[in-house]
């Protein structure tokens, strides 16, 4: 596998599901409590949110040292991907 494909595979594994990507996008704006993430308008249950946050923590994307979730350096490094996606959706 070429290094480009390895990088792409790593990125897809890090981003996770669409719901996990939505959580990352919210946390790129500001750290959030569980309640803030729940109130962010998601159509997902609290259980699904808990599972997604746990997966993101296991992958080292999100951490919660107290009651607030925030992105780790790995999570922060995803910002250019989200910026590119946002830019593309604004200019199809």
Closest CA to 4 of 32, 91, 12: 12
Q: pLDDT tens for residues 39-77?
A: 886 677 889 999 999 999 999 999 998 899 999 999 999
Confidence of residue 8 (pLDDT cuts 50, 70, 90): low
* DSSP-derived 3-state class of residue 46: helix
> How far, in Å, are 43, 73, 90 from residue 61 at the CA level?
22, 7, 26
Higher model confidence: residue 91 or residue 59?
59
For residue 69, the model assigns a pLDDT of 97
pLDDT given at position 28: 94
**Residue range(s) defining the domain that contains residue 39:** 3-90
Per the structure, the count of domains in the chain is 1
CATH number of the domain bearing residue 71: 1.10.10.10
Q: What is d(CA 67, CA 5) in angstroms, rounded to the nearest whole number? A: 37
Distance CA 58, CA 29 (A): 21
CA distance 79 to 89: 15
């Amino acid at each position: 596998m070429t290094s480009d494909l390895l990088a792409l595979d790593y990125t897809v594994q890090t981003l996770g599901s669409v719901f996990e990507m939505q959580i990352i996008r919210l946390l790129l704006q500001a750290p959030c409590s569980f309640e803030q993430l729940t109130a962010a308008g998601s159509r997902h249950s609290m259980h699904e949110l808990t599972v997604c946050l746990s997966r993101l923590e296991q992958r080292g994307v999100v951490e919660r040292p107290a009651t607030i979730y925030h992105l780790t350096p790995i999570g922060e490094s995803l910002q250019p991907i989200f910026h590119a996606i946002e830019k593309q959706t604004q200019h199809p």
